[in-house]
Structure 1
Amino acid sequence: MSRILIIEDEAAIRRVLIKIISEENDTYNVEEASDGLEGIEKIKNNEYDLVFCDIKMPKMDGVEVLEKAKKIKPEIPIVMISGHGDIETAVNTMRLGAFDYISKPPDLNRLLNTVRNALEKKTLVLENKRLKKKVSKNYEMIGESAAISHIKDIIEKVAATDARVLITGPNGTGKELVAHWLHEKSDRHKAALIEVNCAAIPSELIESELFGHVKGSFTGANKDRAGKFEAANHGTIFLDEIGDMSLSAQAKVLRALQENKIARVGSDKDIKVNVRVIAATNKNLQEEITQGRFREDLYHRLAVILIKVPALNDRRDDIPLLVNFFASKICEEQGIPEKIFSEEAISLLQDYNWTGNIRELRNVVERLLILGEKTVSANDVKLFASK
């Protein structure tokens, strides 16, 4: 059922439009408003698939209705209704976001074509939004435990914003997964997600890696080189293991967050960047601050939103889902005939002490698929899953 709103002060025109549209398709639910103020109230409080709006009306004219409606529900197609003297204004409303305009008295075929095209556009817009929300299968977040459900809820609320996020938790719990979800469900998903493992880069090179350098700025700098912040412009940068970053690099990251600009090593020229920052660490940054190894001002810049990823031992109820997910994925990737895990095997895996968290579980599942029988049994787990 498609809901259509007609905002028109002339009752005769409203009746004509309602009759034509309603008779065209009995799935069209047509409502009416006699002036702009009433129309805006209806748009605020209801979900419409299409709005027709007259240009010249008392209380609030159609141009103002269009501007307000686009702020309230930007995805709704709005078709302007124009009298003979309003054509120029109607054309101008297209620049303000109107879908189309029709003249009075309405031509039957043009009106119905406009209705069909506008409703089709609305469907495409909603489908596009749905696809944007989908996350790559490579980064699915598997689990239904309270802790994982809480993380998913936070991501749904935060992803569409540019709020900085600090992800904490032990190694192997899936902090990178959370970062990918945040990026792929954001409006920046078409731009790059640049990952930087701060623990894997020598301290003397981290600034060059993040901010780039100019030729001759240090030994081995044979040419100008852009850094990760520039590569992530208009996208997201994921600073993994940020607790291992040097204090001097922390100071530069702080400046980038405060001023949205960076300078390459060896240059005093500022480069503007528009980057969303997501950081992760397995360290207790409050303790690092106390020990003088992490800047408190940087912590507060990064930790606008905190997401704590639990250890696998704290979400054992998710292990059956994770085992089945990894088994299906690994069999497909490696061309292994599909295998299943017996209930007893999964029960044993749930009792296991997962010090390596999800990363360890995946490795054990892969080992069992390769070495175990067609149905992986409790005996297979005892033989091959031990450390």
Structure 2
Amino acid sequence: MKVDIKLPGLFGLGLLWIIFLALGYFTSWRMGLQWFSQAGLLWFWVWYLTWKRADLNRISTDTPLLNDLGWANRLTLLRGYLIALTGGFLFQPDIQGFISWIPGLLYGAAAILDRVDGFVARRSKQTTLLGAELDTVFDALGLLVAPLLAIVMGKIHWSYLSLSFAFYIFNWGIYWRCKHGLNIYPLMPSQLRRALAGFQMGFVALALLPCFAPQQTVVCGFAFLIPVVLGFTFDWLVVSGRINGESVGAKLFFSRLVKISRNIFQPCLRIFLFVGSIFMLYKADIFEPPGSIFLTLSLVLGISLVLLGSAGRVGALIVLLLLAGSAAPITPLSIGLLCSGAWLLLLGTGRFSLWQWDDVWVNRQDGASA
């Protein structure tokens, strides 16, 4: 099994060297050397994290060690290495031309693999302790490296790093409580927690692409950040016992909160997004020719899907992509539209929706038995 871990590490030396030569030839040798140094350190770190946890390559603690990593764990390991390659572009302000597309594409591939590796693990019935551990570790590494890169590129505000630090602070807090003999209380079950993490990776990957305007992605960053920070805060209050997640009162309160969101907040966001987008289209030419007619019709399609609640998350994604890539000025209206689109993407369209298959897709575990 350890051969499966050693080979990517050795293969990485050759790959890093080839990319270094390519970057040096097409850009500058200084940039190539900096990329090689940073990506090499992160590549070794990913390899070390995997090697250190090799004894977890088993189905459960009372089952024997598996002979090989399996395809699911290999995909998870590939995800870690893609994050390492992305990290090579950190602190390089002169990324231009076709090179500027590479970080977003690398991290985007890693974000897609985050869903694929789980599907492969469940379909092959080989969900291991190692896979679960590496999945969490690489999520945290990616949500540190990629946002930091986006901040350096001016695509998101520096406060977005609070999301990255929240994970490490949360886990350090649990460790500190264990070390001091304090109780650790179980988290309340939540499908939203998993969805929020997945959407963060997708957002940062898209924000890294040069086709999206920095002023738009900065606003979107705040919209995606706020729910996650609130979620981490609430989870810490539960884990530390400040909120009793098992109490009837807490369950009733959050049940009511969910109902208010589904019945009032989310439908109101849909109406605002539709009306506000129509008003913006009427007042200003937010899309530049050529293609302005097609983009305008695409925006109308997106807001119509949102208003009807027919694959509303897909509609919200269409609206966000179009607004983030448009020439729309940053105004209170455009900020409201970007925030509304982001929150509808995270939460769904709520009540009075015609067709919510996208909610099912977001919340399901691909490959799991029905």
Name the TM-score, length of structure 1 as normaliser: 0.23
Which structure has more RCO (C-alpha within 8 Å, separation ≥ 6)? 2
The structure whose Rg is larger is 1
More strand by share: 1
More helix by share: 2
